[in-house]
Structure 1
Amino acid sequence: MQEFQLSEADNGKKLQLQVHDHVVIKLPANPGTGYNWEVQPNNHFNVSHQYKTQADAGVGAGGMDVFELDPQTQVQSGSIKFLYKRAWESGTGKEFSVSYQIQ
């Protein structure tokens, strides 16, 4: 089992994964502004999510959205996309995506 740690700098990265690998994606967020990262539907991964504030952050400061992905099936290729947007606004806002192959 291998663990992959990804950040906003890894946008567009291509991963070669095994079924038992683990992927952690940390994206900066500030839900107090109404913006949230949303993972787009993808049945190749079991996805968990939690928001973490910075320990020394003041009121209104941002934190990190942490997504943990565990591959569920072998696929030749695919991609997973995250959108940073306000739920009540149309449009996509900021995007983060990763392409992958799961063996």
Structure 2
Amino acid sequence: MQKIQLSEADNGKKIQLKMDDHVVIQLPSSPGTGYNWEVQPNSHFSVSHEYRMQAEVGIGAGGMDIFELDPRTQVQNGSIKFLYRRAWEDASKAGKQFSINYQIQ
């Protein structure tokens, strides 16, 4: 089993995974502005999400959205996309996007 850590700097990266690998993606977030990262539907992974505030900072400060992905099926070529947007706005108005391409063996 391999644990793969990704950040915003890995946007667009292609990774090779095995079925027992574990992927952790950390993306900076500031929900006080109304923006949150959301994962687009993807059946290749089971996904869990949590938000962590920065330690010892004031109210309204940002933190990290942390997504943990575990492969569910083998696939030759896939991609997963995350949008940084306000829930009440159309997805086409996303502030930022993050995606990775992958192969799961």
| TM-score (normalised: structure 1) | 0.97
Query: What is the identity percentage for the equivalent residue pairs of Structure 1 and Structure 2?
Result: 74
**Which residue number corresponds to residue 98 of structure 1?**
100
Q: Deviations over 1:30-52 (max 9, x none)?
A: 11110010100000000000000
Question: Paired residue for 2:50?
Answer: 50
Deviation per residue, 1:13-46 (Å, 9 max, x gap): 0000000000000000011110010100000000
Letter in 2 for 1:75: V
Q: Partner amino acid for 2:104?
A: I
Distance in 1 between the 2:95 and 2:33 partners? 13
Alignment match, 2:22: 22
Structure 2 letter corresponding to 1:47:
V
For residue 9 of structure 2, give the secondary structure of its aligned residue in structure 1: helix
User: 1:58: Cα distance to partner?
Assistant: 1.0
Give the Cα–Cα distance (whole angstroms) in 2 for the partners of residues 24 and 56 of structure 1.
24
Q: SS of the residue aligned with 2:32? A: helix
- Consecutive unaligned residues of structure 1, counting only runs of 5 or more, are none
Paired residues in the alignment total 103
Compute the displacement of 1:92 (Å). Answer: 2.6
Structure 2: which 5+ residue stretches go unaligned?
A: none
Question: How big is the shift at 1:93?
Answer: 2.3
